Amino acid sequence: MMARAVLSQADISRALTRISHEILESNRGSSDLVILGIPTRGVILARRIAETIARIEPDAAPALAGALDVTMYRDDLTRTRTRTPQPTDLPPRGIDGKTVVLVDDVLYSGRTIRAALDALSDLGRARAVRLAVLVDRGHREFPIRADFVGKNLPSSARERINVRLVEIDGDDAVTIDEGEE
């Protein structure tokens, strides 16, 4: 199976910088902003976005990054490979009244984000919830749309999108594999 490169390290960096600017513009700054990554790679992307926001607005209130595990909220646990639940890590003041930006690596069917919305509602009442993804590949099963997208990548259901991040995989890249349906 041959992997085709779609995004390089520089492309990912540019996409996250653009997403960070878009989040700041949409939120009119970083006050009351909480950025929650969905494990595993979404957490790393959320941290990178929060760090970028801090560089863009060094004098503003810091955007707080955390993690939101959705494993036990998924409706497809019996049909897919289950991973070990990861800790949910919220800012000390929680999410009540805050704008929460959920961050994930790939948006596909929308099931992970639906689970994230359920998990979030158990943790508090956000003022608003937004979604940032590195790659949107289409094929939605739920009416979910990302507010901030690094790259729209229409793909067939046979293809597999692989997001590699240096913190886990040793390099930053997005590739697409032609797989079996």
What confidence tens digit (pLDDT) does each residue in 148-168 have? Answer: 999 999 999 899 999 999 999
Q: Which tens digits make up the pLDDT trace of 103-153?
A: 999 999 999 999 999 999 999 999 999 999 999 999 999 999 999 999 999
Pairing of strands 64-67, 33-37: parallel
| Bridge partner list, 163 | 174
Phi-psi region of 139 (alpha: psi -120 to 50; beta: other; left: phi over 0): left
Q: According to the model, what pLDDT value does residue 58 have?
A: 86
Whether the pTM exceeds 0.85: the reply is yes
How many degrees, rounded to 5, is the angle at CA 164 between CA 150 and CA 133? 25
- Over residues 17-33, mean pLDDT: 95
Q: Where along the chain do its domains lie? A: 9-156
Higher confidence at residue 162 or residue 80?
A: 162
DSSP 8-state class, residue 72: G
What band does 27 get if pLDDT is binned at 50, 70 and 90? very high
Distance separating alpha carbons of residues 89 and 91, to the nearest angstrom: 7
CATH number for the domain whose boundaries are 9-156: 3.40.50.2020
Higher confidence at residue 58 or residue 78?
A: 58
Q: According to the model, what pLDDT value does residue 1 have?
A: 63
């930053």: which residue's tokens? Answer: 172
Distance separating alpha carbons of residues 102 and 108, to the nearest angstrom: 15
